[in-house]
Amino acid sequence: MNLELSIDQPIAGHFYWTIVGLDQAGDHQRLVDYSRGSMPTRALATAAGLAALMRHQAVEDLGTPASRSSSDPIAEAARRFH
C-alpha cells in the first residue's frame, strides 16, 4: 500500500495532518492515521505527520500493527524538526 501525507489548515493557525493509504492503482483510499489535535504551524504538523508516516512505513515493512506513540505529538515533532 502506498501512503500519502496531507496537511490541512481549516482555521487560521490550526494545522492537521492526515495519512491515507492508496491501493496499487491509486483509485481507493483508506484512512490510516490522523492528528488528534491541531498544531500551531505547518512545519510542526509536517514534522509530526512525517514521524507518523515513517512509523507506519516501518511497521508495514515488518508486517505488524502500528501503535501510536504515547508521548506528546507536538513535543515529538519539535524534537524531530529542530
pLDDT in tens, 67-79: 555 455 555 555 5
CA dist 65 → 10, 55, 58, 60, 62 (Å): 30, 10, 10, 8, 9
Confirm if 32 and 55 have CB atoms less than 8 A apart: no
- The per-residue pLDDT for 39 is 96
What is the pTM assigned to this prediction? 0.70
Report the chain's C-alpha Rg in angstroms.
13
User: pLDDT tens digits, residue range 29-69?
Assistant: 899 999 999 999 999 999 999 999 999 888 776 665 555 55
Grid coordinates in use for 30? 483508506
